[in-house]
Structure 1
Amino acid sequence: MPPAKELTIGELSDRSGVPQSALRFYERQGLIFSRRTTGNQRRYDRTTLRRIAFIRASQRVGIPLAQVGEVLGLLPAGEPPTREFWIRASACWSEALDDRIAQLQRMRDRFTRCTGCGCLSFDECALVNPDDTLRTRGPGAHLLDALVPRREP
């Protein structure tokens, strides 16, 4: 017997490994689509499995769902992502991912330099106080004082 052309939400969840709640969310966001039966049950085309694989792979590399949705919006209705589609999406996101990697590396390096110096000078530190707004309060750990109230003896 050939496999069913459509899947219930439970079958889609089992096959994709994605919780049903996430599938409903994806549908509300326009990432996947279903049709409703006369009993108002969702039915998904089998090709939805490929869309979900694309969504999950994109999320794993840090692509926000809004951007995933924009790219999926370029597909004709009901069409699953093809290999060529994945290659084009990857090319579009490579620059954004490279920029994010560079930004994270700069943040890591800046933080490492800061913890390495041991100064804890919150009024001068470019990492904690980039606009130097605490200078007007004079010396001291003003941010820590606000977080940890002093106990009176």
Structure 2
Amino acid sequence: MTQLDTDAVWLKPGQVAERAGVAVSALHYYEQVGLISSRRTSGNRREYRRDVLRVIAFIRTAQRLGVSLEKIKDALDQLPEQAIPGKRDWARISRQWRDELTARIEELTALRDNFSDCIGCGCLSLTSCPYSNPNDILGQHGTGARRLTARMTQSTTRTGTETSLFS
């Protein structure tokens, strides 16, 4: 964990937004929900430490993977508050998410490999459907794509991961 120098580099919101590829309003939102923090100048303007760029990159990548902001916040809350997070800090988060990301990859692979066959929706509109669902029998077992959901649940259960990082 690297300690901050008293002369740490502070950036204006516009500079951070441009460098991170987000809108200034996104910075304000991230700050509002506790994902990032800023300080106020004597003129009451926000400034962000330069290392917030790495945190924003982490947030955006995790969001693209389908991770909820709540889970992202839980992870970020484990980082040191007054020090720049180091390689060990990021590696710890990576280890915690590894099994759940692997389960998510398996779910997406099952979706990719089976989506064109039949998702078991019960619509009966596909004349070439390899799975017959007369009278919407699958609808009696719940909503959604019953067969695909069952396959993904079996895959997830096989890996031993019951909870989802992505809910």
TM above 0.5, yes or no, is yes
**Match for 2:10: what amino acid?**
E
Contact 2:20 2:56 in 1 (8 A): yes
1:121 to 2:134 alignment = yes
**Residues 122 and 38 of structure 1, relative CA distance in 2, 3 Å threshold:** farther
C-alpha distance 123-83 of structure 1, shift in aligned 2 (>3 A): same
Residue aligning to 1:146: none
Q: Which runs of 5+ in 1 are unaligned?
A: 134-153
What CA deviation, in whole Å up to 9, does each residue of 1:9-63 have, x standing for no partner?
A: 1111111111111111110111110011232210111111121122122222222
Answer with 1 or 2: which has the greater Rg. Answer: 1
Matched, 1:36 2:40: yes
Matched, 1:97 2:101: yes
Q: For the structure 1 residues 106 and 80, does the alpha-carbon distance in structure 2 shift closer, same or farther, using more than 3 Å as the test? A: same
Identical pairs, percent? 38
1:112 aligns with 2:117: yes
TM-score with structure 2 length normalisation?
0.64
Kindly indicate whether the alpha-carbon contact (under 8 Å) linking 2:8 and 2:49 is maintained by their aligned counterparts in 1.
no
Pair 49,105 (structure 1): closer, same or farther in 2 beyond 3 Å: closer
Which residue is equivalent to 1:63?
Answer: 67
| Corresponding residue for residue 89 of structure 2 | 85
Residue-pair matches, total: 128
The RMSD of aligned alpha carbons is 2.8
TM-score between both structures, scaled by the size of structure 1: 0.69
Note closer, same or farther for the CA distance 1:14–1:132 as it changes in structure 2 (3 Å cut). Answer: closer
* Alignment gaps of 5+ in structure 2: 1-6, 121-125, 144-167
Tell me if the contact between 1:50 and 1:80 (Cα under 8 Å) persists in the aligned partners.
no
